């Protein structure tokens, strides 16, 4: 049978029978990729429906139905789909992939979900303390994007290492995450310890698992299904220390336990732009404007609390792709936004070196809110709004008619508003300076108005 007789699609399934449920999470709905031997899309749907009926499953929706060959031409070859095609026969023309459970969304989507207390204990640790007689072997996952020499270093060193991607393409492997075992006195260990931690080169792991076991486990998390798009997963860069710390705060307890199942601990290098959880209780947490030298060598160790039961650890072993629900997606977004604001505030401190750091960060937060109101949402646009707040005050749109006219223009694009604000800002500074004595005089008059009353009350 030729390739055009194979059809593929993505199904949204449901069941009310616990027996028919082929996934472990306590939910009645799931997503699954299918491959079907069929002569047409209608034939595919008919055979799929017949198979699902026999399994006690209901088809809610079939998305992206297309011939397998057409899918390969558009998106490239997929070994997972080829494996499913190999499972089909004339008697069993339908092959179902791994079923990813869909957890129910919260009843009030407009309300921000509360952040659960992380089931993690945090301890600051140094490189010298990572190798002890009682500690598990130390591994690293090196990010090929943030550390471009990783593949070259590892292929020329005598170490246990493996790429977390299955591809054989050299260009893709060069930017892929790499798993490597570290020995106390190895060249790779000293090289990683010397890399700037604000480069966010990767993470460290304590684990008794073998290279093969650890690679197989971590590969399950390199792709992530999100509520933003149920048609295709996205790359999940858990090996970036910023994302790793966000993950510890955003994931539900049992999902974090599933990720940590073969790990004794996860270690990240601190940097000015990581979201350090409040639960760490660090005596001197790194500030967003800290220098790289101030954080170099400071590591944060994450381990599951003893209260995390084995049931939670083994509740789900994710398949080829990992999935998060809407509350987790919202928490990831909030943490990412916080990091973006701190990064922008750090950049502004170069221009506003005499302004207290808290005021700079507050101006960025106000600029972010104003940007949402006036549709200026890019980094450059929010930066311009933050500059206006720092120099003219948070209420500058109300106090400066020219700025308000630019911001409230109904047909002007955001980039154009930003350009006009940048051009207007020097005039705004002049007006702000001219009005300063008047503002001071008004303030003095208000104070004078209250002094006689206060004196009379005291008498």
Most confident of 26-30, 156-160, 281-285, 295-299: 295-299
pLDDT of residue 440: 53
- Tell me if residue 167 falls in helix, strand or coil: coil
pLDDT greater at residue 346 or residue 447: 346
pLDDT of residue 28: 83
Where b means 16+ CB within 10 Å and e means fewer, 39-63 reads eeeeebbebbeebbeeeebbbeebe
Given this model, what pLDDT does residue 61 score? 86
* pTM of the predicted structure, to 2 decimals: 0.67
Asked if 5 and 39 touch (Cβ cutoff 8 Å), the reply is: yes
Asked if residue 12 has pLDDT above 90, the reply is no
Residue 332, classed as helix, strand or coil, is helix
d(CA 369, CA 341): 11
Confidence of residue 189 (pLDDT cuts 50, 70, 90): very high
**What integer best gives the mean pLDDT of the chain?**
85
pLDDT score at 459: 35
pLDDT at 396: 93
Highest-scoring range by mean pLDDT, 70-74, 287-291, 445-449: 287-291
The Cα–Cα gap between 300 and 244 comes to: 11
Contacts of 414 (CB under 8 A, 6+ apart): 374, 375, 376, 377, 378, 381
Higher model confidence: residue 13 or residue 206? 206
Looking at residue 106, the DSSP 8-state letter turns out to be P
Mean pLDDT, range 400-407, rounded to an integer: 94
- 30, 100 contact by CB (below 8 A): yes
| Integer Cα distance of 384 and 419 in angstroms | 9
High-pLDDT (> 70) share of the chain, %: 86
d(CA 449, CA 114): 46
- pLDDT-based confidence at residue 108 (cuts at 50, 70, 90): very low
Between 97 and 203, where is the model more confident? 203
Tell me the C-alpha distance between 246 and 115, whole Å. Answer: 12
- What is the widest separation between alpha-carbon atoms in the chain? 104
- In this prediction, residues 282-309 reach a mean pLDDT of 85
Average pLDDT over residues 174-180: 95
């Amino acid at each position: 049978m030729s390739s055009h007789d194979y059809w593929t699609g993505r199904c949204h399934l449901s069941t009310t029978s616990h027996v028919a449920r082929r996934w472990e999470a306590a939910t009645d709905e799931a997503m699954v990729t299918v491959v079907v031997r069929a002569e047409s899309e209608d034939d595919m749907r008919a055979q799929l429906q017949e198979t699902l009926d026999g399994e006690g499953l209901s088809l809610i929706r079939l998305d992206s139905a297309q011939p397998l060959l057409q899918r390969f031409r558009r998106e490239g070859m997929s070994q997972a789909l080829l494996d499913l095609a190999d499972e089909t026969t004339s008697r069993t023309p339908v092959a179902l992939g791994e079923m990813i459970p869909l957890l129910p969304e919260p009843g009030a989507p407009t309300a921000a979900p509360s952040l659960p207390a992380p089931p993690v204990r945090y301890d600051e640790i140094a490189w010298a303390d990572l190798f002890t007689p009682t500690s598990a072997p130390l591994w690293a996952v090196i990010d090929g994007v943030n550390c471009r020499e990783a593949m070259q270093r590892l292929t020329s060193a005598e170490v246990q290492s493996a790429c977390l991607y299955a591809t054989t393409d050299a260009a893709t492997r060069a930017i892929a995450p790499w798993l490597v075992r570290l020995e106390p006195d190895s060249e790779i260990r000293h090289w990683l310890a010397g890399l700037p931690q604000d480069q966010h080169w990767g993470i460290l792991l304590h684990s008794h698992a073998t290279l093969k076991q650890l690679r197989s486990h971590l590969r399950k998390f390199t792709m992530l299904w999100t509520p933003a798009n149920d048609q295709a997963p996205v790359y999940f860069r858990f090996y970036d220390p910023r994302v790793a710390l966000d993950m510890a705060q955003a994931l539900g307890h049992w999902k974090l336990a599933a990720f940590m199942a073969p790990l004794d601990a996860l270690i990240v290098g601190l940097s000015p732009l990581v979201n350090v959880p409040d639960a760490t209780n660090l005596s001197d947490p790194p500030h967003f404007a800290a220098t790289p030298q101030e954080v170099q060598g400071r590591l944060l160790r994450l381990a599951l609390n003893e209260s995390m039961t084995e049931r939670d650890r083994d509740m789900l072993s994710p398949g080829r792709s990992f999935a998060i629900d809407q509350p987790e997606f919202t928490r990831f977004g909030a943490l990412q936004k916080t990091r973006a604001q701190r990064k922008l505030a750090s950049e502004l401190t170069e221009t506003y070196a005499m302004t207290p750091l808290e005021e700079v960060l507050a101006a960025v937060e106000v600029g972010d809110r104003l940007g949402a109101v006036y549709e200026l949402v890019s980094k450059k646009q929010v930066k311009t709004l933050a500059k206006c707040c720092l120099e003219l005050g948070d209420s500058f749109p109300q106090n400066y008619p020219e700025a308000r006219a630019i911001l409230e223009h109904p047909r002007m694009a955001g980039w154009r508003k930003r350009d006009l604000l940048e051009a207007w800002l020097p005039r705004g500074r002049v007006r702000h300076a001219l009005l300063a004595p008047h503002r001071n005089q008004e303030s003095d008059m208000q104070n004078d108005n209250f002094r006689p009353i206060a004196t009379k009350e005291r008498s």
